[in-house]
Amino acid sequence: MKRILITGGAGFIGSHVVRLFVNSYPDVQIFNLDKLTYAGNLENLKDIEQAENYQFIHEDIVNADALHQLFTEHQFDSVIHLAAESHVDRSISDPLAFVNTNVIGTVNLLNAAVAAWKDDLDNKLFYHISTDEVYGSLGETGYFLEDTAYDPKSPYSASKASSDHFVRAYQNTYQLPIFISNCSNNYGPHQFPEKLLPLCINNVQNSKPLPIYGKGDNIRDWLYVEDHARAIDLIFHQGKKGETYNIGGFNEWKNIDIVKLLCAIMDRKLSQDSGTSEQLITYVTDRAGHDMRYAIDASKIKSELGWRPSLQFEEGLEKTVDWYLENQTWLDNVTSGSYQQYYHKQYQQ
Ligand code: NAD
Ligand code: TYD
């Protein structure tokens, strides 16, 4: 039986990847290793937690000794590495947390994999999940391609770029078989309500301000999270070892436009007068070093592996809003406790 270690599986994207693999590959044992930070929530996996081919491991990737033991104990054949600190604003207020998990944690995992696999490296795989933010910021034109030079500009993207470099260095130095994929902004169920879309959904429900950084004209490319999970599955099973794949939605939006679209959907879903939610929009001080535009050219994964996004954006956004409205308890749970304190410190304006 194959044994895949997925890290960060209790988080937003990881929970969709774990679910997809557990359900699609009943003959493969899936181990989900997660520290359960503020962003990790086992409620995200309730529907599959009893599956015979699923096992949760509560651990921190910064704990190198524990990782070595786990590789010996469970004999993983491959790793899909999603565990990370993922929010740019938090990386500005606490960069070292990002160095610890994203850089040191990734190197710990690489060391554990190389040590455990050294006699049979050809049959192993280390798949590292990364972001388009490593490429920096675009002007009005152009796209990020797989060979675009790295130019990270936030502590978050610098930590992810560093981890990408380590993964490639381990391929070159120790012949570790790897994949890296760099994806654009994800949206969908289970996203922690500190990121733009779930934050706004939560705030509309509570009649709180919708904070728009700067003028709201920064651009992001948005992809439904299940389409990202499908791309990861495809790369894992059919990608060419050693390759990098960019994943994106072919779907660029200015922040202010996406928030207005979301407001219109929320008004309809909550049976409010049109324009009610938009009145909550509040322009606030810009994020320090705010990247202007991200845009992915995903033609490589499209032409080589036949992947493309399955959902139209408005359809995906409606599904997302429906999920949050139907899962108020989930929102209540994650917005209480330590997150709440952080939220008040950041956005009391
Ligand atoms: P998330 O913050 O929702 O989840 C991260 C998960 O990692 C959580 O379950 C958390 O508990 C776990 N974790 C954090 N530190 C850990 C540690 N030290 N040890 C073990 N587990 C730890 O993040 P996400 O949005 O799901 O992102 C997942 C991955 O995808 C990250 O590597 C991120 O850089 C990448 N990514 C995210 C996006 C996006 O739009 N969210 C886009 C491209 C790439
Ligand atoms: P975010 O969801 O934090 O993702 P990322 O910074 O990784 O792209 O932010 C998406 C965009 O929305 C980004 O340009 C910053 C902006 N933004 C706001 O305008 N207000 C907010 O409250 C947040 C969280 C983000």
The model's pLDDT over 157-199, given as tens digits with 9 standing for 90+, comes to: 999 999 999 999 999 999 999 999 999 999 999 999 999 999 9
Give how far the C-alpha of residue 268 lies from the chain's centroid of Cα atoms, to the nearest Å: 29
Residue 302: pLDDT band with limits 50, 70, 90: very high
pLDDT digits (tens, 9 = 90+) for 146-157: 999 999 999 999
Active site residue 132: yes
Whether 156 is a known active-site residue: answer: yes
86 lines ligand 2 (CB under 6 A): no
Summarize pLDDT for 244-257 with one digit per residue, the tens: 999 999 999 999 99
Model pTM?
0.97
Q: DSSP per residue over 206-240, as a string?
A: TT--EEEETTS--EEEEEEHHHHHHHHHHHHHHSP
* pLDDT value, residue 346: 52
Q: How far apart are CA 166 and CA 107, in angstroms?
A: 7
| CATH code for residues 2-191+221-251+293-312 | 3.40.50.720
The per-residue pLDDT for range 16-67, each reduced to its tens digit, is 999 999 999 999 999 999 999 999 999 999 999 999 999 999 999 999 999 9
Quick check: 282 and 215 in contact, CB under 8 A?
A: no
pLDDT at 348 > cutoff 50: no
Q: How far apart are the CA of 194 and the centre of ligand 1, in A?
A: 13
**CA angle at residue 315 from 277 to 268, to 5 degrees?**
30
CB atoms within 10 A of CB 236: 17
SS3 content of the chain, % helix, strand, coil (to 5): 50, 20, 35
H or E element, residue 343: helix 338-347
- CB-count burial class (<10 Å; 0-12, 13-18, 19+) for 181: buried
Q: Which atom of ligand 1 is nearest to the CA of 133?
A: 43
Indicate whether 349 pLDDT > 50: no
Q: Is the Cβ atom of 86 under 6 angstroms away from ligand 1?
A: yes
DSSP-derived pairing of the beta strands 28-34 and 54-58: parallel
Mean pLDDT across 286-295: 98
Residue 283 annotated to the active site: no
- Name the helix (H) or strand (E) containing 263: helix 255-269
Tokens describing residue 273: 């007068």
Mean per-residue pLDDT for 217-242?
98
The single residue listed with the structure tokens 């034109």 is 141
- Ligand closest to 290 (CA) is 2
pLDDT tens-place string over residues 63-102? 999 999 999 999 999 999 999 999 999 999 999 999 999 9
Q: What whole-number percentage of the chain has pLDDT above 90?
A: 94
Considering every ligand atom, which ligand is closest to the CA of 17? Answer: 1
Q: Which amino acid is at 282?
A: T
The pLDDT-based confidence of 340 (bands split at 50, 70, 90) is low
Dihedral angle computed from the Cα positions of residues 301, 304, 307 and 312, in that order, rounded to the nearest 10 degrees: 70
Predicted pLDDT at 298: 97
Q: Which of 60, 85, 132, 146 is catalytic?
A: 132
Taking the CA of residue 219 as reference, the ligand 2 atom at the shortest distance is 14
Secondary structure (3-state) at 249: coil
* Average pLDDT, integer, range 303-332: 96
**Strand, coil or helix: what is 200?**
helix
pLDDT for 335 equals 86
| Cβ–ligand 2 contact at 280 (below 6 Å) | no
What's the pLDDT score for residue 113? 98
* pLDDT higher than 60, residue 280: yes
Does the beta carbon of 88 lie inside 6 Å of ligand 1?
A: no
**Cross-strand partners of 245:** 181
Q: What is the mean pLDDT of the chain?
A: 96
Distance 196 CA to ligand 2 centre (A): 5
Decide whether any atom of ligand 2 lies within 6 Å of the 218 Cβ.
yes
Q: Tokens 């160095």, residue?
A: 99
- pLDDT for position 41: 93
Residue 180, SS3 per DSSP: strand
Which comes out higher in pLDDT, residue 198 or 341? 198
Quick one: pLDDT band at residue 345, thresholds 50, 70, 90? Answer: low
Distance separating alpha carbons of residues 105 and 203, to the nearest angstrom: 33
Give backbone dihedrals phi and psi of 104, rounded to 5 degrees, phi first.
-65, -40
Q: Give the pLDDT confidence score for residue 223 in this predicted structure.
A: 98
Tokens of 180: 């890296």
Q: Is residue 136 pLDDT above 50, yes or no? A: yes
Segment 311-340 mean pLDDT: 89
